[in-house]
Structure 1
Amino acid sequence: MTVREFIAKWKASTLKERSASQEHFIDLCRLLAHKTPAEADPTGEHFTFERGASKTGGGEGWADVWKKGFFAWEYKGKHKDLIAAFAQLQRYAIALENPPLLVVSDMETIVIHTNFTNTVQEIHTLALEDLEKPEALQKLRWLLTEPERFRPGITRHMVTERAAQTFAELAQTLRSAGHTSHSVAHFVNKLIFCMFAEDSGLLPGHLFTRMVESIQSRPAQFADRARLLFAAMRHGGEIGFGDVVPWFNGGLFDDDDALPLDAVSVAQLLACAKLDWSDIEPAIFGTLFERGLDPAKRSQLGAHYTDRDSILRIVGPVVIEPLEREWSASKIEISSLLDKGTAPARKKAEGCYRAFLTKLRAMRVLDPACGSGNFLYLSLVELKNLEHRLMLEGEIFGFQRDFHQIGPHNVLGIEINDYAAELARVTVWIGDIQWNMKNGVGYSTDPILKKLDGIACRDALLTRAPSPQPSPARGEGAIQPEALTMDADASPPTSPLNELHGTQAPHGPQAPPPFMGGSVAQAPPPFMGGGWGEGSLWLEAAWPEADCIVGNPPFLGDKKMLAELGEDYVTRLRSRYKGRVPGGADLVTYWFEKARAEVEAGRVQRAGLVATNSIRGGASRRVLERICASGRIFNAWSDEPWINEGAAVRVSLICFAGNGLAESECKSARLDSKPVSAIYADLTGPAERAGFEPGPTCDLTTATALKENESVAFQGPTKGGAFDIPGELARQWLHQPNPHGKSNSEVIKPWANGQAITGRWPDMWIIDFAEWSEDQATLFEAPFAHVLVNIKPDRKFSPEKGMRERYWLFKRSGADMRLAISGLSRYIATPEVAKHRVFVWCPASIASDKNLVVIARNDDTTFGILQSRIHELWALRMGTSLEDRPRYTSSTTFRTFPFPTGLTPNLPASSYAGTPQAEAIATAAQRLVELRDNWLNPPEWVERLPEVVAGYPDRILPKPGCEKDLAKRTLTNLYNLRPQWLQNAHATLDAAVAAAYGWPADLADDEVLGRLLALNRERSG
């Protein structure tokens, strides 16, 4: 068939859809020299007419023509509604395996809609007459043979990033004009939704863009025009001449406030309006726009963001997969009932289907730190996808299709940051509307935007007790302390958690702005005080009822909480959660504990939260131990990359449930995507053999501190100020006299931190007055003068009283460590955080930093045991990590480690000197240190100079011409290279240490850990 023949035939045709559709497609195949469905696929498995089940609304198949992985094609009679045909294809796209192209045709026009994941949608319309053009025929050939040719070059991520960047510029212009950040943010959110609404067809005729274009030469009119539009969107109705605006509201348009724009701002806004807002990606929308609207986060513009797949690692196991498993079981029951072929059985089958659908539609997902809504959006989309699949499968069973009901009301959120809270609502609204349109469902009306009171702007951890009304102090009507109950809606308007997000109370101390959705907290009476002070009564905040909890709570380490949140807030937080969250735990653990309590109480089925990977150890791990004691971790990723506040971090993703977890879920625990029989609190599992059979039990979180290891390992002192000085200055001071005749060498020492161990020593010294009084310190003139200028001014503003009053001393002196190493000529040191777990000898004259762990031993045997593979395995499992670098601690790592019998740290080295095991370890350790030192400082490349005063190690300086080569000689580089001689030296040491335990040298890692744990339990029992 020729092109002219095809055009002539179908232009003249008056056949109805049913009789014409297959013939039309077969003619197209003949025209393009392509096999027909019957010729290409006689079985109809991948290329067929009338694909799918009968439609409950009438008709056969979900698509008139279907080619797997290529397209789905729906025909309509001539001049029929192709928009309705496309909506039908969208509804059944999931059942048709989401083909990349969706095609509709009325025999005179062929419309190709792209349906690729994460790309903007493109539409290609071909009229009959267009087929005479070679490019039109080429598109039809690609449709049948190369659908990838239609893939749009612009992704949804690209569109969203471009829109966020453009709006960030507009927001900055408005702030520069003197408008408050909060008024700018609320105004911009309304503009954002207007542009999405017009590009999605909710606002008629690109009304918003026309409005902006109309005032380009008269920018002073913008605010008045915008107010008219916002007012119309609040109530619905006509605007201008004939444009009818639907009823939107939902809270976003409760006010019609609009900011004035100058010509530059109007041009920026018009540039924004020209973008296609219908395809922005809600999964990243909130994060990107928050960076532009929140001035505290503007520096994060252009930074990476957390991707959809990472979030689904939480949402999938916690929210969706349990429902899918339950539905799979229900389908088996439904099929069995339908197979009976009786009316009662069919009625029971449909009842089973309807009951599950009702349960699904009642699901509520809470994100108690929802940020700008990415977890909420993806939870909503996945629930809607599941409902959609269920309804399609219900049609296959022959049940009547009903309306989609899952929507924004199925997700709940708590967020302290007002920028983020409103963006979360906008994200959920946009995501819901996008999904409905993409799947041919349509959108709700009257109003289009339903209230999202379920996303509250308040503190998720603490709430102020309601203020009692004035009443007699005694007798009837007196308020008793127990009458002060928790108010879940009361929110501290200026919570320090808000400060953590970089925002301030927008409208004074008592009233959040109307668009926030938060309740107004009453001012406390005089006897209760105000703010976070001593007089206020603060309670644990309540969380709304939900079935599942997901989210990414704020990351803030224990050591930074005081500085970031303030002493008052931290004191109250720790007091309120005392006995549940230990002191020293990171901020994120409070969300874990609250979620655990909700699960234990039966109010929540499952929870999944993100934390920094340090939650696997230290005080933070105690919260996971409570989770394991009252329930079960059933899915976890122990150490994964993540984006937090625009920065790359390492995190743990942890999903848990109560002890009532379904049997099917108990058998499907997964750790780092692999099946395991259990997940311990340190996010490790037992060694696994085939299937789910457990290997040796090795839950190292049950290891306890050993008395024999007490008072041996210490964290170095914490400076708390700029006490460090360069070597050149230190050497000058060493020659200067003091009024009392003592040398400055008594208070200045060479100083080593982690970098000095793993890299090369940077020739840094430290001023250290130990525990001396201020009067004693003043007698060391030059060092004390340095303290007055460089430390005292900063200490004045410290929230800690001791830091302010004892400004010349370290924040933490490390007195216990000083006592332990006094009398030793050297001590063992290892960096707290390092890529490789290496130990070194430090002369006693070198001062250690807080990021060094100091072991107060000077015998080679102890050194060798610590540097062995056996101890390294224990350290890696018992420690936490910073990013991808393992962390070693004196408490959880050293104190729990069982040394070989007879070689424990509570014994003097003289007690085992000369024994074969100790001698073998000491000899191997000495050899390892000697080889390492020779590699680090080759005699051919260095010269050693005595220090300017006695008592300090020699200075190691590069010989002329060797500077660059010597700079590369570091322990990190050595262990990165791991040359054969180093491997041999370690193998000899490892064998000697294993022999001291009485073990073979080639034990598997899990076997070593299992034996060490058994020793720990034996000695601690």
Structure 2
Amino acid sequence: MVGSAEKTANLKTFVQWAAKHITGDEKGEAQVFLDRLFQGFGWEGFKEANAFCELRVKNTNGGTSFADLVWKPVVVIEMKKRGTDLNKHYSQAFTYWTRLVPNRPRFAILCNFDEFWIYDFETQLDTPVDKVLLKDLPTRFGPLNFMFPEDVKPIFGNHQETVTRKAADKLAACFNSLIARKVDQPLAQRFILQMLMALFSEDIGLLDKYVVTRLLDDCKTPQDTYDLLGGLFTAMNTNGVKGGRFKGVPYFNGGLFAQPAMIELTDTEKSLLRTASDFDWSKVRPEIFGTIFEHSLGKEQRHAQGAHYTSPVDIMKVVGPTIVAPWTERIETTSTLDGLKKLLARIESFTVLDPACGSGNFLYVAYRELKRLEARIYERMATEYKSVDPNQRPFGFVSAANFYGMDVNPFAVDIAKATMMLAHKLAIDELHISESALPLDNLDANFKVGDALVQADGTRTEWFETDVIVGNPPFLGSKLVKRMLGTSYVNRLRKAYPEVPGMADFCVYWFRRANDNLKPCTSADPFAGRAGLVGTQAVRSNASRLGGLDQIVASGAIIEAVENQPWSGEANVNVSIANWIKTEQATLLPKTRRLWFKVDPVKGAKAKPQAGDQNPADYELDMREVPFINSSLSDLTDVTGAKALAINATAVVGQGLTPGHSAFVLTDEERGTLMAASKKNADVIHPYMIGDDALSTGKPARWLLDFERKTIVEAQAYPVPLKRIQDQVLPDRMEKAKALPDRDEDAQGNDDGDEDEVKKGRAHHQAFLAKWWQLSYGRPKLSEAVASIPRYLACSRVTKRPIFFFVDSAIKPGDAMQVFALADDYSFGILQSDVHWQWFIAKCGKLTERPRYNGDSVFHTFPWPQAPTAAMVTAIANAGKAVRTLRAEAAEKQGIGLRALYRTLDLPGKNPLREAHEVLNAAVMKAYGFAAKKPILQQLLDLNLKVADRSAKGEPVLGPGVPSSYKNPSNLISSDCFST
């Protein structure tokens, strides 16, 4: 490893060379400057480091730009000519960084040959984490440590997340102390918010420097804090000349300070505020402060350091497509002064709503971006038209009053208002614009406290009418809504929104209401009628999709979406993001849309360095430009119109058995004890296989005590097993049946539980008690169908790719398995083919980020070949057997289970399993008569609709299993299967 002295010497040589040879011409000198920069950091040059210059990157206007240097996964560098104000080029660097996927660079650098501005967008969106002058580089290379060949953690001097967390921690601790000693909560909240504004104000120039600090130092008694701090808040609320101690304190407004908060503080509370005043509040990030602060309140053991916040880069996945992109495209393509003036007038009346605003982080980012767009209009007018005086602003300006919010949490709303009040002054400082920072906007009329969906009387809550809607509504799954919000609320909600299915996730109501509330986007006003919301993954499937995105697509188009990603905010969930336009004018829709999807991180030449106190993301997003995005947030053929096929119901298919209590599941030792009591007990003890058994060993690891449909009288014939259930299961079921709480205990994974069952809450526990000796869900119809055949087909219910296998019918399947009462090799071949896999991916449900096999949506809509010849059927059966033979040999000779074996398909190189599947796929495609060059999903959808139509007319159709025309179908039932 190169030592510090050598690093300093090498960089000093580079700086001396640059001083002698570089004039600062971006076009002519950028590449040679960058090559020598890499040499200064110990590389032979940028090519030897595997970096590239002039790399093509799609820009926000739909065209192509050229990034000066891209070095994945480390850094993207954009050069500007000497003397350039780098602040004006932040958005270009952010756009490059956003689009450079997969294996996106961790950092971005703006450089004008004299200084380096270093950005870490994953932790700090709009402000450099450090700035380094070229002349200081030999001794201040710490912020650029990631440039060295060895992976060295960079050291940043402006990592604002750390400051924000510490500042939030002190204020939250003070608030918690006030509440703990019984200070009235509204007064404590008002005091903390007024103190927050005062601390910010003395560091961003709204108050004289150190005015708050000096007041705190002068407070010797609790009475002093009441008089001096209360006096400051009173002065901030007084419009006019002030004298004495508060002479020169400007008027802030009559909203936040309408009731000056006066409290006698303890020494501990005063000390916390005094420590807080030592922070540089100009470096506290308002877009993350609110959430960190809010989530630290009232939690003594949980300080701000442990709170999660929605990262600004995630917020930009909504604000960018919904607000920034359409405005940027119009601003940059408008070619007349009159056109720019019209854009200026429109942007200053442009309004934004977040109907679940929380502490206002989405609105803050939206405000900041709109101010930058407004500044860009003024910049173009002043630089391109001599008649425009750059020092005059003839119109109004974008202010915090352009933004609206709603939330059920009153304190969060107050934090949001304070955040938006600060936004104006911070924008003035960033953009060097001549607007008055005071008085602050009074936002009391812009924010509503209360439920955004339904009122106590059952009517819909009235929303603000605005141009666009952004935000992230509550992440609450459909089966938790009643438990968390109560039966009466759910009843009011469903009555107010009958168009939303009862099994839709809670956030779907916001999607539907947002779309209904939007005025359409038109050619006369192309900026209205847009929305971007974050939702649970369920928004793109099943009832949730029907209630929200289906309607959104029907009334416009989704223009940019994130199919799936982990969320950076408080909830530990994977989310989907949809940005859409509501319009009837197809000409307003972009020709291509952007679809983002999660991929495994790409391994680069160097590992991604860590920045500051936060690790880099453990996932990657990739993006592809597509002609359309359907309501499943996919660019594949939209198969939501596929119909359930009556012929498919001839096969019994469903979820495996749900014991409902651990006492029904036996270890080998427990089974041995019961068998020692009586050999007759073998009648009710069965091998029991779960999905993990099948994918790992292919052997059942436990046993199931199952009385099946036996009555209590018949069960008496097995006294020892029955006593086990009576002692362990009966008391539990009696306890659970005592009341009817408001949740569905068995909501987890029951395919055949319907909406009515969920509405009954835990009423099913009374049914369990009535037959307490039986399994919770014994699936009698499925069990009887399986018992009538020698083996059955199954796969794991939660899987990225269904791996099908045969199981001996003597083995009881667990509820993590999807079971098909099909025993023939032909059916295996059809279901194990890529044709069925593609249908599964398009139609499956989602459990977190994992696909889940759903019998109703996948199997019962899946069309089978309608005219296969006997030779085709035999070919599919034989190809399927070949796949299973290869799998069995791998298990026997190498000890490889199905899960490990199928993971080899993700690796490059020749693979006999892949080759066997290719033979199977070819045989299945031939039986369907599908064209290889046409989308398989479209061909399957066409076939589904054709089969449904023929079936409705009473015409013969083919479904699951061996076609009736095939002679000797028993020849297609081989003997291989998982057994004991």
Contact 2:119 2:129 in 1 (8 A): no
Contact 1:116 1:151 in 2 (8 A): no
Secondary structure of 1:555's aligned partner: coil
Residue 153 of structure 1 is matched in structure 2 by 157
Residues 48-88 of structure 1, C-alpha deviations (whole Å, 9 max, x = no match): xxxxxxxxxxxxxxxxxxx9747649xxxxxxxxxxxxxxx
For 1:212 and 1:685, locate their aligned partners in 2 and report how far apart those are by CA, in whole Å: 60
Name the CA shift for 1:102/1:415 in 2 (closer, same or farther; >3 Å). farther
Name the CA shift for 1:558/1:864 in 2 (closer, same or farther; >3 Å). same
Contact 1:300 1:646 in 2 (8 A): no
For 1:299 and 1:724, locate their aligned partners in 2 and report how far apart those are by CA, in whole Å: 44
Match of 1:704 among 612, 631, 643: 643
Name the CA shift for 1:443/1:123 in 2 (closer, same or farther; >3 Å). farther
Residue 631 of structure 1 is matched in structure 2 by 556
Contact 2:93 2:110 in 1 (8 A): no
Contact 1:836 1:972 in 2 (8 A): no
Name the CA shift for 1:770/1:42 in 2 (closer, same or farther; >3 Å). closer
Name the CA shift for 1:138/1:602 in 2 (closer, same or farther; >3 Å). closer
Q: How does 1:508-519 map to 2 (within 5 A)?
A: none
For 1:115 and 1:935, locate their aligned partners in 2 and report how far apart those are by CA, in whole Å: 52
Secondary structure of 1:541's aligned partner: coil
Question: Which amino acid in 1 is paired with 2:725?
Answer: P
Q: How does 1:164-243 map to 2 (within 5 A)?
A: 164-177=168-181, 185-215=189-219, 218=221, 221-235=224-238, 238=242, 241-243=245-247
Contact 2:514 2:531 in 1 (8 A): yes
Residues 858-910 of structure 1, C-alpha deviations (whole Å, 9 max, x = no match): 2222122111122112211222433442222112211221122268xxxxxxx
Deviation at 1:753, TM superposition (A): 4.3
Deviation at 1:590, TM superposition (A): 1.3
Equivalent residues, number? 789
Name the CA shift for 1:895/1:281 in 2 (closer, same or farther; >3 Å). same
Contact 2:520 2:529 in 1 (8 A): no
Deviation at 1:813, TM superposition (A): 5.4
Residue 150 of structure 2 is matched in structure 1 by none
Contact 1:408 1:452 in 2 (8 A): no
Larger RCO, structure (CA 8 Å, separation 6 or more): 2
Deviation at 1:766, TM superposition (A): 5.4
Q: Cα RMSD between the aligned structures? A: 4.4
Contact 2:26 2:79 in 1 (8 A): no
Residue 925 of structure 2 is matched in structure 1 by 994
For 2:939 and 2:517, locate their aligned partners in 1 and report how far apart those are by CA, in whole Å: 37
Secondary structure of 1:987's aligned partner: helix
Q: How does 1:280-429 map to 2 (within 5 A)?
A: 280-293=284-297, 295=299, 298=302, 301-302=305-306, 305-329=309-333, 331-332=334-335, 334=336, 349-350=337-338, 352-396=339-383, 397=385, 398-400=387-389, 401-402=392-393, 405-429=397-421
Question: Which amino acid in 1 is paired with 2:530?
Answer: R
Secondary structure of 2:315's aligned partner: helix
Question: If the length of structure 2 is used for normalisation, what is the TM-score?
Answer: 0.71
Q: Does 1:272 align with 2:256?
A: no
Q: How does 1:9-20 map to 2 (within 5 A)?
A: none
Deviation at 1:299, TM superposition (A): 8.6
Question: Which amino acid in 1 is paired with 2:500?
Answer: V
Match of 1:806 among 732, 753, 767: 767
Contact 1:366 1:413 in 2 (8 A): yes
Name the CA shift for 1:170/1:924 in 2 (closer, same or farther; >3 Å). farther
Secondary structure of 2:470's aligned partner: strand
Q: Does 1:597 align with 2:600?
A: no
Identical aligned residues as a percent? 30
Name the CA shift for 1:804/1:136 in 2 (closer, same or farther; >3 Å). closer
Deviation at 1:455, TM superposition (A): 2.1
Match of 2:887 among 904, 909, 932: 932
Residue 506 of structure 2 is matched in structure 1 by 587
For 1:976 and 1:996, locate their aligned partners in 2 and report how far apart those are by CA, in whole Å: 28
Q: Does 1:1016 align with 2:947?
A: no
Name the CA shift for 1:101/1:136 in 2 (closer, same or farther; >3 Å). closer
For 2:136 and 2:79, locate their aligned partners in 1 and report how far apart those are by CA, in whole Å: 18
Unaligned runs of 5+ in 1: 1-30, 47-66, 74-88, 104-110, 125-134, 335-348, 466-537, 687-697, 904-911, 941-965
Name the CA shift for 1:173/1:843 in 2 (closer, same or farther; >3 Å). farther
Residue 781 of structure 1 is matched in structure 2 by 723
For 1:870 and 1:95, locate their aligned partners in 2 and report how far apart those are by CA, in whole Å: 44
For 2:332 and 2:133, locate their aligned partners in 1 and report how far apart those are by CA, in whole Å: 45
Q: Does 1:837 align with 2:802?
A: yes
Name the CA shift for 1:418/1:72 in 2 (closer, same or farther; >3 Å). farther
Contact 1:722 1:790 in 2 (8 A): no
Q: Does 1:447 align with 2:446?
A: no
Residue 864 of structure 2 is matched in structure 1 by 899
Contact 1:32 1:141 in 2 (8 A): no
Q: Does 1:976 align with 2:896?
A: no
Name the CA shift for 1:575/1:745 in 2 (closer, same or farther; >3 Å). farther
Deviation at 1:857, TM superposition (A): 1.6
Question: Which amino acid in 2 is paired with 1:855?
Answer: F
Match of 1:921 among 868, 876, 892: 876
Question: Which amino acid in 2 is paired with 1:399?
Answer: V
Residue 656 of structure 1 is matched in structure 2 by 580
Q: Does 1:430 align with 2:422?
A: yes
Residue 877 of structure 1 is matched in structure 2 by 842
For 1:419 and 1:869, locate their aligned partners in 2 and report how far apart those are by CA, in whole Å: 53
For 1:300 and 1:851, locate their aligned partners in 2 and report how far apart those are by CA, in whole Å: 39
Name the CA shift for 1:971/1:290 in 2 (closer, same or farther; >3 Å). farther
Deviation at 1:168, TM superposition (A): 4.3
For 1:682 and 1:96, locate their aligned partners in 2 and report how far apart those are by CA, in whole Å: 31
Name the CA shift for 1:856/1:100 in 2 (closer, same or farther; >3 Å). closer
Q: How does 1:855-866 map to 2 (within 5 A)?
A: 855-866=820-831
Bigger Cα Rg: 1
Contact 1:294 1:419 in 2 (8 A): no
Contact 2:24 2:112 in 1 (8 A): no
Deviation at 1:550, TM superposition (A): 1.4
Deviation at 1:151, TM superposition (A): 10
For 1:206 and 1:139, locate their aligned partners in 2 and report how far apart those are by CA, in whole Å: 31
